[in-house]
Every structure is written in C-alpha cells, then in structure tokens.
C-alpha cells in the first residue's frame, strides 16, 4: 500500500490541531507558551504479543490509544495528542487501515485528543504499533513514590476481568457456568480497556501516589510499594471483582488468574486517611467506583506486599507472562 495514500486519506483527517502542521512537515510544533510541563509516555503493541491477527482493527486502534491514555490519566494529567508509528507487512490492506483509523477517530472524540504526527513504514513480518501520547499541564504529576505511613490504598473499578476474558478466548469450552452475556462482557474487557478521564481530578486532588494496573494487581501493588519504599498491607477479601468475574472465579477455584492477570488498566493509588470522607464523597459524585483495599505501612529496606495475616505476596512473573 502507498504510504502517501494512507497519510492523505486516513491519517490527515485525524490531525485536526494546528500543532500537527497538517502532517506536512515531518515534525509537530506544539505550543507550550502557557504551560509548565509536558508529560509524555510511549507504549507499543505487537501483533501476536498484544493482539491477534483476527482482532477487529477498530479494537486494536482503541487499545493502542487507551494503554497510553491510561498511563497519563493515572498520573492526574489530561491527555492532549499523540504520535503514531505503524509498521505493517503486506497482509494489511486498505480496508484494515480504514477500520483502524475509524477506531482512532472514535477515541479521539471520546477522549478529546488529536493526532500530532508519526510515520508508516513497511515490515517484512507482522504489525507493530507505537504510540507516544502527551499532555500539556501546569500541575506536577502524582508519582509512584509518594505513599506515606497510614495512607489508604485504593483500586478503581473491578479487577481480573481482562485476564479472565483472555482465558475464555483461549479455552472456548472452559466457561464454568458463565452465560453468554458474562462471556461477552469479560472478553470485551480484554479487547478494550476503559480508562476513565474523570479520575484525573480525583488523583490530582487526593492521591499521594498512583499508577495504572497493567501487569496484574499484585505485581503492580508491589511496584507501587517498592517505589515508595514501604510495606503495603492489603485485605484480600476487599479486592473488588465484577459479578461475571466472581461467578467464574468461584467455579475456577483459583483467584490467582485475577490477582496476577494483566491488562486491567484500572488505577491503584494511595491517599491520606484524613481525605477518606471527602474522597468517597467526590467518587460518589462523579460515579466512579473506588475500593479501599488496605493501608500503607512503615518504610522498609525490603518493601513488600502483605495480606491481613501478614503473609507476603510475591511477584509472579510466570503468571503475568502466561496471561499476557
């Protein structure tokens, strides 16, 4: 396929900010005269690793944007625009590009972001997508390292849906009593993370540390505890699951798939106890489900994660890799 055609017909209409120079100049020129910071991150998705060849190109487009959006909003900043690099072999045809750019367009509207630049190149094998997403802001970000003694530990939404969705895709007969609606819901969570812009202000106002969950709740809590150099104590029975996930997990008999399975794209954060009432009030007002799952303990040379009986959780790289 002709790179110029792709750019002119499909990508240029997505570059609706002056800063993109209409994709004409190889560079974007981003006005930051009124800002203090650019907050930016870059994540890549590869066919065969992060999505399947048969996946809907619209979902692939949205997932590529959302894994990056999730990184920024979990830091309490509002996304502004993105760069897109596409490397494609010749199995990618114009219809694929059309659906892919429709997916981008829908999410640009939903998240109020714009395409700023990038490139499309040919590859001998496969499909590779790299996105650099940025935010212009006057506020500092909430870092991973800010958790203090006594802070409450929260998670948004429910966890494990995406990992169970992937399990269902891979094991088509292992439904364990789930109905069609449950199955669809869980698989959808795997295909399409749902980062919520409305969390930005909550994080900015109430969080002492935060990050999004991508590698499994336990692995990510361990990272947050490690960044703050503290012991985190969580109550296992407070961890929130969706109704569909609960049905599956109870029959499956092993909750590790939810605790260590990746791709939830929820936010874990810590917040001072004194904010508890105001935080709950605010979350209720914006209709965002947050759940307090534990508390931050003392500083330690060996930070870690413990349950209510002080049994230590260990990182499970194997489980993480397995469900990726």
Residue ranges that bind its own copies, judged by CB under 8 A: 21, 24-33, 35-50, 71-72, 75, 83-85, 87, 116-119, 121-126, 128, 130, 132, 140-141, 143-145, 211-212, 227
Output 45 or 176, the one with its CB closest to its own copies: 45
Distance in Å, CB of 36 to its own copies, minimum? 5
Minimum gap (Å) between residue 80 Cβ and its own copies = 11
Exposed / middle / buried, residue 263 (Cβ in 10 Å: 0-12, 13-18, 19+): buried
Q: What is the residue whose two structure tokens read 């002709």?
A: 2
Tell me which H or E stretch contains 204: helix 199-206
- Give burial (CB, 10 Å; 0-12/13-18/19+) of 102: middle
CB 73 within 8 A of CB 199: yes
Residue of 84, 69, 66 whose CA lies nearest to 23? 84
Q: 158 vs 219, which CB is nearer to its own copies?
A: 219
Q: Give least dist CB 212 to its own copies, A.
A: 8
* Least separation in angstroms between CB 270 and its own copies: 15
Q: Of 130 and 319, which has the nearer Cβ to its own copies?
A: 130
Nearest to 43 by CA among 14, 15, 24, 64: 64
CA distance 197 to 203: 11
By beta-carbon proximity to its own copies, the closer residue of 60 and 72 is 72
Provide CB contacts within 8 A for 159, sequence distance 6+.
Answer: 213, 217, 239, 240, 241, 245, 258, 259, 264, 266
> Residue 48 — φ and ψ, nearest 5°?
95, -20
Of 17 and 184, the one with the shorter C-beta distance to its own copies is: 17
Would you tell me the crossing angle of helices 199-206 and 276-285 to the nearest 10 degrees? 170
Partners of 287 in the beta sheet? none
Shortest Cβ 310–its own copies spacing (Å): 27
Q: Which residues contact 59 (CB under 8 A, 6 or more apart)?
A: 51, 103, 191, 192
CA distance 82 to 62: 13
Cβ proximity to its own copies, 75 vs 167, nearer residue: 75
Shortest approach of its own copies to residue 150 CB, angstroms? 23
Residues 6+ away with beta carbon under 8 Å from 225: 147, 231, 232, 303, 304, 305
Q: Of 130 and 242, which has the nearer Cβ to its own copies?
A: 130
* Nearer residue to its own copies within complex by CB, 183 or 216: 216
């Amino acid at each position: 396929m002709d790179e110029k055609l792709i750019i002119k017909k499909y990508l240029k209409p997505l570059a609706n900010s002056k800063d993109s120079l209409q994709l004409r100049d190889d560079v974007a020129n981003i006005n930051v005269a009124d800002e203090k910071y650019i907050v930016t991150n870059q994540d890549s998705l590869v066919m065969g690793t992060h999505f399947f060849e048969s996946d809907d190109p619209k979902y692939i487009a949205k997932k590529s944007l959302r894994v990056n959006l999730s990184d920024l909003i979990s830091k309490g900043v509002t996304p502004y625009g993105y760069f897109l690099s596409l490397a494609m072999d010749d199995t990618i045809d114009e219809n694929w590009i059309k659906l892919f750019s429709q997916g981008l367009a829908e999410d640009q509207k939903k998240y109020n972001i714009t395409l700023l630049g990038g490139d499309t190149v040919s590859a001998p094998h496969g499909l590779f997508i790299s996105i650099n997403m940025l935010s212009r802001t006057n506020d500092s970000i909430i870092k991973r390292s800010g958790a203090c003694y006594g802070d409450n530990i929260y998670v948004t939404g429910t966890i494990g849906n995406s990992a169970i969705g992937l399990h269902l895709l891979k094991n088509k007969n292992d439904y364990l009593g789930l109905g069609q609606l449950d199955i669809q819901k869980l698989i959808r969570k795997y295909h399409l993370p749902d980062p919520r812009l409305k969390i930005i202000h909550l994080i900015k106002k109430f969080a002492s540390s935060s990050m999004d969950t991508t590698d499994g709740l336990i692995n990510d809590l361990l990272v947050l505890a490690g960044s703050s150099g503290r012991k985190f104590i969580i109550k296992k029975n407070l961890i929130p699951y969706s109704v569909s996930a609960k049905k599956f997990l109870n029959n499956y008999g092993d909750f590790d798939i939810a605790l260590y399975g990746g791709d939830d794209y929820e936010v874990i954060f810590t917040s001072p106890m004194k904010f508890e009432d105001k935080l709950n009030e605010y979350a209720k007002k914006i209709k965002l489900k947050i759940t307090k799952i534990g508390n931050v303990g003392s500083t330690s040379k060996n930070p870690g994660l413990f349950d209510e009986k002080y049994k230590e959780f260990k990182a499970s790289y194997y489980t993480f890799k397995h469900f990726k």
